[in-house]
With several copies, the nearest count.
Chain A
Amino acid sequence: MIIDTLTSPVILFFVLGFVAAALKSDLSIPEAFAKAMSIYLMAAIGLKGGVEVSNSGVTAEVAAAALAGLALSFLLPVIAFALLRQFGVTFVTAKEILTGQGLGPAGYMVAVLALMETPAIISGLMLARRGDKDTAEKSSTPWHEVLTNASVMILVGSFIIGIVAGSDGFAPIKPLFDTGFRGVLCLFLLDMGLIAARRLIQSRKMNLRLVSLAIVIPLLNGAIGTIIGTLVGLDVASAATLGILAASASYIAVPAAMRLALPKADPGIYLSMSLGVTFPFNIIFGISIFAAFAKAIG
């Protein structure tokens, strides 16, 4: 199954970006285009999730997944305490890979993603604050920043649009948001590959302990997520997806919110671990691992 993953164009483009940056190529994706792609991807997953929920309605399974996601999202930061939670792009890639293996997670899992994003940021911030007692900024609440964070807005917003529009309303915009989706994901992962390798090369403070943390903690969290997903009765693919969500970083949403809420924290090392280690690991191995694990315990 890792072989399957490794021959998917989506992953191969990530590898291409990684190799190009490792070879110190001058290849780079313009910042504005990378941001546009991330907005497009978020809007597309939000819309598709919303349309699927508008089709299925809010069933017991949807509610169970949502509750499991919320619980995980609040608890995992406390369990892992050292690393902030992470979601987002990995989810999208996971969905593509799993679907390519005939293991498409239920459409409502995107709603779970949106649900998990927010409390994860909040828990992360609360934990980070505990070690930061004497700052003047302590009093300023980050809630507003978290809830109006660009990724949360676009994900939740387009999820609601998807519910309101339904399949019929979605039809005319489907060519852009559905058909074009995987191609854009390729180019986005090309950029993520470039960023991951450059982060690793430029990072000076990275050491073996941090690298293993950046792998072990997601593995742990992913296992917990997969188990809980299975316990609340999700199908194999959805449980694996919950595992992947629990193992991933919101590479998009969390760091900017953290930078604002905790100006004293250097984003460099966190970003290096998150984008340089955890993300490649999750993309290349994590997705296969949790899928296998979910199948085994499912």
Chain B
Amino acid sequence: MIQTVSRKRIEILVDTPLVPRVVAQLKAVDISGWSVIHVDSGGGRAGAWQDDDVTGASAKTIVLAIASEAKTSGLIEAIAPLLDSYGMLLTIGDVQVVRGERF
């Protein structure tokens, strides 16, 4: 049987122009891989929005990263102070991965 290991699945919803900042934070805690998914529309306390804004200033994306528990804790510490001021949303789930050495 193939062996799997536990890792954290980190999802960060963030305004697209701020993605480089989030990636910098990931790298700072040594999380070396991430994937960016476009979010079409949504809604929250500040009302509903679509990605139709030609300026791109309010477009949102999800930054997805798989990482070890230790690195994830580091990220939470680093990124938590920014969550509110940057209007980000951070969720952490558990996943199994095959050959998890790389994360």
Q: Which residues of A86-103 are within 8 A (CB) of B?
A: none
Asked if A252 and B52 make an inter-chain contact with CB atoms under 8 angstroms apart, the answer reads: no
CB closest chain-B residue, reference A32: B51
Interface residues of B in 46-86 (CB under 8 A from A): 46-59, 82, 85-86
* CB-based contact B18/A263 at 8 Å: yes
> Are B85 and A203 closer than 8 Å at their CB atoms?
no
Contact A266 B54, CB 8 Å, known A259-B17, A260-B18:
no
Check A28 against B50 for contact (C-beta < 8 Å). Answer: yes
- List the count of A-B residue pairs having beta carbons below 8 Å apart: 74
Instruction: Give the contacting residue for A263; candidates B21, B46, B59; CB below 8 A.
Output: B21
Q: Which residue of B lies closest to A140 (CB)?
A: B21
User: Are B47 and A264 within 8 A (Cβ)?
Assistant: no
For A263-278 the 0/1 string (1 means CB < 8 A from B) is: 1101110010001000
Residues of A within 8 A of B15 (CB): 259, 263, 267
- Chain B contributes a number of interface residues (CB within 8 A of A) equal to 22
Q: Are A195 and B54 in contact (CB under 8 A)?
A: yes
**Interchain CB contact (< 8 A) of A255 among B46, B50, B51, B55:** B55
Q: Which chain B residue has the least Cβ–Cβ distance from A270?
A: B57
Please count how many residues in chain A sit with their CB below 8 Å of the partner chain's CB atoms.
Answer: 32
Contact in complex: B57, A195 (CB < 8 Å): no
Q: Is B93 an interface residue (CB 8 A)?
A: no
A264 touches B52 (CB 8 A): no
Shortest C-beta distance, A30 to chain B (Å), equals 9
A54 at the interface (CB under 8 A from B): no
Q: Contact between B54 and A38 (Cβ–Cβ < 8 Å)? A: yes
What is the bound-complex CA distance between A185 and B46, given in angstroms?
31
Contact indicator B48/A256 (Cβ below 8 Å): no
> Which B residues form the contact surface with A (CB < 8 A)?
15, 17-18, 21, 46-59, 82, 85-87
Across the A-B interface, the 6 shortest Cβ-Cβ residue pairs: A255-B57, A255-B55, A259-B17, A267-B57, A264-B85, A259-B57
